[in-house]
Amino acid sequence: MTIRLMIADDHAMVRRGLQVFLATQPDIALVGEAANGQETLDRAAELRPDVILMDLNMPVLNGIETTARLIQAQPEIKVIVLTSFADQDHVLPAIQAGAKGYLLKDIEPDMLIEAVRRVHQGRVELHPDAAGMLVNHLSGSERPLTKEDKGSSEEDRLGQLTPRELEVLRHLATGMSNKEIGESLVITEKTVKTHVSHLLDKLGFSDRTQAAIFAVKRGIGL
């Protein structure tokens, strides 16, 4: 299945660079571009893309307001924020507006493409800094669940985790990347990926962000 992708960014050089790389991807079709928020809304209504790469600092309407209006009008479109900002004033509002991804512009091209594919499949993709801010926000606003709050089904799922998988889950709850977890536990990044995959399956989650939020809510963390 071809992913219909649209780029929303007010910098022509950024759009051009993405164009060149996307042209090499057989499963992704660049269907349109926009240079400001209002143009993004207009073009999205016309082109019906599957995924939009959304800059935050755009004229007319910024990326957060554009995302909120877009999701309200066309909830089937998945937005990935692609920005230079990694602070709480941008991360949390973007996610609250409905973005399914939050990535920084220094991301490696191959990793960006993989993120587009995963978001298109229904997963959430967050830069480690963005994930950490989201987890910290939730942990500050929601108390950990008490013993009385914990359902037996969740206890059963947690009980399936190996000690190493539980260690990885604790690190996920802090927003650490696979590389950082590997360095902390003195294991390879590939091994971390395997543990993450296994614990997601056992807990019944589709992405690491859900697992991290689950861990924070249950008081699991470093």
Where do the domains of the chain lie, and which CATH numbers do they carry? 3-138 (3.40.50.2300), 154-217 (1.10.10.10)
pLDDT for 80 equals: 97
pLDDT for 138 equals: 64
pLDDT for 120 equals: 94
pLDDT for 57 equals: 92
Q: Which residues contact 201 (CB under 8 A, 6 or more apart)?
A: none
Q: What angle do CA 170, 176, 178 make, to 5 degrees?
A: 100
pLDDT for 143 equals: 41
pLDDT for 151 equals: 44
Q: What is the pLDDT of residues 63-106, one digit of tens each?
A: 999 999 999 999 999 999 999 988 877 888 888 888 999 999 99
Q: Which residues contact 152 (CB under 8 A, 6 or more apart)?
A: none
Predicted TM-score (pTM) of the model is 0.65
Alpha carbons 194 and 62: distance in angstroms, whole number: 38
Check: CB of residue 63 under 8 Å from CB of residue 41. Answer: no
Q: What is the pLDDT of residues 126-170, one digit of tens each?
A: 888 887 777 776 655 444 444 444 444 666 788 888 989 999 998
Band of pLDDT at residue 5, cut at 50, 70 and 90: very high
Indicate if the pLDDT at residue 213 is higher than 90: no
Q: What is the pLDDT of residues 183-205, one digit of tens each?
A: 989 999 999 999 999 998 888 88
Mean pLDDT over 32-54 rounds to 97
Band of pLDDT at residue 37, cut at 50, 70 and 90: very high
